[in-house]
């Protein structure tokens, strides 16, 4: 290990001095001494250690500490914990050592940030278990997750030095968990940067194209914004407001996401403009009133769009976000979104829950987030849930869209969009959820799967004799409801398994038999399982009688030689291949150990990844597929980057969506174009017409993306067709 040079040491010193300069909340001599003490310990512990990029390792904890204090607004203890966050994992220093030198609170934060060491029984759960441990500490001290987010942000900022497979894994995990978590905690600036960096590594070509387009249009956008803002600036000055007004550019990821989800071009997305007005509130008037006064000034000049008013000053979001949003018609017929915030609201919008400590007592929003953290803690403390189930449930809790509903007494509750009446029942209390039989929504009787809307008033109808039904899992959306139902069904399953075991023992006694391996083998074969608990559960469900039991036992098995040979041949086959996740998987016409994921149905030429389902089979997913992102996050050791070369032998299913004017013969024109394409065969066509407009979906077999793009281009030339684009063929299950 090469010793640090004089330049390395100077670089470390300069970075640490910058950290001290931006640590505004750590201004006393004692606070500075504590930070220097932590830096000196970390610097000695990481001495001569380097990151993959070659830079001194200590620059990473310094950068994390800088983000924690400068970008999130945390104080001295957080800076100290950030500086020390890797010493326990990477050096000989222990949590006990930190406790002795810095106290119990800092030691507790560092312990929460320390990754799980050792080898778990199931290696694929390491990431989920590690995340679970961090969140357990988070529920006691939110600084843990703030520092964890700062750590992840610096890792993403320096991801260039990592190999491609690591880049995919870290970016996928970040997009799946950390960006939504930053959003849920109100850290808007960090959430946006994380999403943009994820796109840079997951879809590099799209990232570059959108980034270049934004830079090209920046001058034009600023000119328009200045023209729009000039009359507003004059009026606000005349009214005596102290304010800042600025353009709000869209993030690269948000542009890409809208293009991807709405199948539109960047020009259609980026034709939208936005400004933000941040004002210093006048002491004699409430902030809320001043927000509406500014809104009134703007709408005196520009016509508002009634369906695009968002009032988060009267009822802030659960992450504390407060602002007034409106969309108005600007010059040249362009829609402009206007956000109005006070300086306090803006700091909370950028720094999230961390900023609430500064403004404690101004509003009551801590209670909403505290309730969310309490729910997370309940999920964490559940001894029955495994790591992956927890990860799924937690992910559902990071909802972005919210609705507000009322009880019959007028109490208000915030739920995720698309929540059902049953979700509301579980939100009130678990037992109310379990005993639900129906609901009155706005005084009208509805079923439990009724989707709720903002402003609904809900009364849950219950019966103490009612038990939850299996199909409830299909329509509940909140993590709490899913978690409680899973536990109840798991308990019921365990009870049924115990009854099955007792029933089997009873039948054996009736027949005068002793349990042995031959009996269990025949039962395993009958129920197609090799798990005793599942076997007992199946028996508990069936409750077969003595005659049926005798028939199962009378069945003849395959010969031992055939079964032995089958097992041995499978072992030989699987042992012959060794998976190397660092290597690119090349798929061409001669490859036969893969299949196409039904959740996204990619075709050659798409940006894809491979998921190793077994030793000799891969599943090909589109990189943008939600299931691919989830697999990258939770089972990255089985994910590999794929190079899918052009296929000319095999054909793959693609789907095209059409829209246009319903003219005579247009369907015939479309099918003629398809029949003329040499590399395309049509599988199905479905066309619907209403009010002079037709919409169609065509499924075709193609060899690769080029074939599909050529067909789309030719269909776009047909007179009367206004829109034609590729549509993904989706199935929600992971393949």
The residues annotated as belonging to the active site are 89-90
Please provide the DSSP assignment of 1-38 as one string. -PPP-HHHHHHHHHHHHHHHHH-TT--SHHHHHHHHHH
536: which 2 tokens? 């007992």
Orientation angle between helical segments 164-173 and 188-202, nearest 10 degrees: 140
Edge-to-edge strand list for the sheet holding 617-622: 585-587, 639-644, 608-614, 617-622, 594-596
Orientation angle between helical segments 95-102 and 104-113, nearest 10 degrees: 150
List the alpha helices (DSSP H) in 459-559: 479-510, 517-527, 532-542, 546-554
Separation between Cα atoms, residue 147 and residue 515, nearest integer Å: 56
Query: Helix, strand or coil for residue 480?
Result: helix
DSSP annotation of 174 reads I
* Residues 158 and 72: beta-carbon distance below 8 Å: no
Adjacent-strand bridge partners of 384: none
DSSP run (H or E) holding 441: strand 436-441
Separation between Cα atoms, residue 654 and residue 601, nearest integer Å: 8
The owner of tokens 């660092």 is: 582
Separation between Cα atoms, residue 698 and residue 688, nearest integer Å: 12
- 319's CB contacts (< 8 A; 6+ apart) are 183, 184, 185, 186, 352, 353, 369
Give the count of beta carbons closer than 10 Å to the beta carbon of residue 176. 21
124, with CB counted inside 10 A (0-12, 13-18, 19+), is: middle
512-515-518 Cα angle (round to 5): 110
511: which 2 tokens? 């027949």
The owner of tokens 């920046």 is: 218
Separation between Cα atoms, residue 659 and residue 642, nearest integer Å: 34
Separation between Cα atoms, residue 179 and residue 188, nearest integer Å: 9
Reference 658, options 622, 625, 685, 691; nearest CA is 685
DSSP annotation of 252 reads H
Edge-to-edge strand list for the sheet holding 458-462: 444-446, 436-441, 458-462
Query: Helix, strand or coil for residue 306?
Result: helix
- 40's CB contacts (< 8 A; 6+ apart) are none
DSSP annotation of 478 reads S
Q: What is the CA radius of gyration of the chain?
A: 30
* Residues 353 and 365: beta-carbon distance below 8 Å: no
């Amino acid at each position: 290990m090469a010793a640090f040079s004089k330049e390395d040491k100077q670089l470390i010193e300069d970075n640490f001095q910058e950290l001290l300069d931006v640590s505004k909340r750590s201004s006393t001599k004692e606070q500075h001494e504590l930070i220097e003490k932590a830096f000196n310990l970390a610097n000695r512990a990481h001495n001569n250690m380097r990151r993959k990029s070659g830079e001194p390792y200590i620059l990473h904890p310094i950068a994390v500490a800088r983000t924690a204090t400068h970008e999130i607004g945390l104080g001295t203890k957080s800076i100290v914990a950030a500086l020390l966050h890797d010493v326990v994992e990477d050096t000989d220093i222990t949590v006990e050592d930190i406790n002795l030198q810095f106290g119990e609170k800092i030691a507790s934060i560092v312990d929460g940030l320390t990754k799980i060491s050792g080898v778990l029984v199931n290696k694929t759960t390491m990431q989920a278990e590690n995340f679970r441990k961090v969140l357990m500490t988070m529920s006691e001290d939110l600084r843990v997750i703030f520092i964890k987010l700062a750590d992840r942000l610096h890792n993403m900022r320096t991801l260039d030095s990592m190999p491609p497979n690591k880049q995919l894994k870290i970016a996928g995990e970040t997009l799946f968990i950390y960006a939504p978590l930053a959003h849920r905690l109100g850290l808007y600036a960090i959430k946006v940067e994380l999403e943009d960096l994820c796109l840079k590594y997951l879809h590099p070509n799209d990232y570059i194209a959108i980034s270049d387009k934004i830079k090209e249009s920046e001058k034009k956008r600023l000119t328009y914004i200045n023209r729009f803002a000039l009359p507003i600036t004059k009026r606000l000055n005349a009214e005596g407001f102290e304010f800042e007004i600025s353009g709000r550019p869209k993030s690269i990821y948000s542009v890409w996401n809208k293009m991807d989800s709405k199948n539109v071009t960047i020009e259609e997305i980026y034709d939208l403009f936005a400004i933000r007005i941040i004002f210093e509130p006048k002491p004699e008037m409430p902030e809320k009133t001043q927000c509406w006064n500014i809104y009134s000034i703007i709408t005196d000049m520009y016509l508002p769009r009634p369906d695009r008013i968002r009032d988060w000053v009267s009822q802030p979001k659960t992450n504390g976000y407060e602002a007034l949003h409106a969309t108005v018609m600007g010059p040249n017929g362009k829609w402009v979104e206007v956000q109005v915030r006070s300086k306090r609201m803006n700091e909370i919008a950028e720094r999230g829950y961390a900023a609430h400590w500064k403004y404690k007592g101004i509003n009551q929003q801590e209670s909403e987030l505290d309730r969310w953290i309490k729910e997370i803690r309940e999920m964490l403390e559940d001894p029955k849930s495994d790591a992956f189930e927890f990860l799924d449930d937690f992910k559902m809790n990071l909802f972005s869209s919210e609705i507000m509903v009322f009880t019959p007494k007028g109490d208000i509750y915030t739920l995720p969009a698309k929540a059902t009446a049953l979700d509301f029942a579980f939100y009130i209390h678990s037992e109310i959820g379990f005993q639900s039989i129906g609901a009155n929504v706005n005084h009208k009787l509805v079923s439990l799967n009724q989707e709720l809307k903002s402003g609904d008033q809900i009364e849950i109808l219950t019966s103490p004799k009612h038990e939850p039904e299996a199909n409830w899992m299909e329509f509940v959306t909140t993590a709490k409801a899913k978690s409680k139902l899973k536990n109840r069904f798991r308990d019921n399953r365990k009870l049924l398994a115990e009854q099955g075991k007792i029933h089997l023992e009873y039948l054996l006694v009736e027949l005068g038999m002793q349990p042995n391996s031959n009996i269990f083998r025949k039962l395993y074969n009958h129920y197609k399982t090799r798990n005793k608990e599942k076997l007992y559960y199946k028996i508990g469900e069936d409750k077969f009688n003595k005659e049926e039991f005798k028939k199962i036992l009378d069945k003849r098995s395959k010969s031992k030689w055939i079964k032995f040979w089958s097992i041995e041949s499978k072992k030989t086959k699987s042992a012959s291949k060794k998976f190397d996740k660092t290597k690119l998987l090349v798929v061409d016409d001669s490859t036969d150990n893969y299949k196409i994921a039904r959740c996204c149905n990619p075709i050659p030429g798409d940006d894809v990844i491979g998921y190793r389902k077994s030793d000799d089979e891969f599943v090909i997913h589109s990189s943008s597929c939600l299931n691919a992102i989830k697999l990258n996050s939770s089972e990255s050791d089985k994910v590999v980057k794929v190079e899918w070369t052009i296929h000319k032998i095999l054909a793959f299913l693609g789907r095209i969506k059409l829209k246009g004017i319903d003219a005579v013969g247009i369907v015939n024109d479309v099918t003629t174009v398809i029949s003329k394409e040499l590399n395309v065969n049509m599988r199905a066509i479905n066309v619907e017409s209403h009010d002079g407009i037709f919409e169609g979906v065509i499924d075709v077999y193609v060899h690769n993306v080029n074939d599909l793009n050529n067909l789309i281009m030719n269909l776009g030339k047909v007179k009367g067709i206004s829109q034609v684009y590729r549509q993904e063929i989706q199935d929600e299950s992971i393949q």
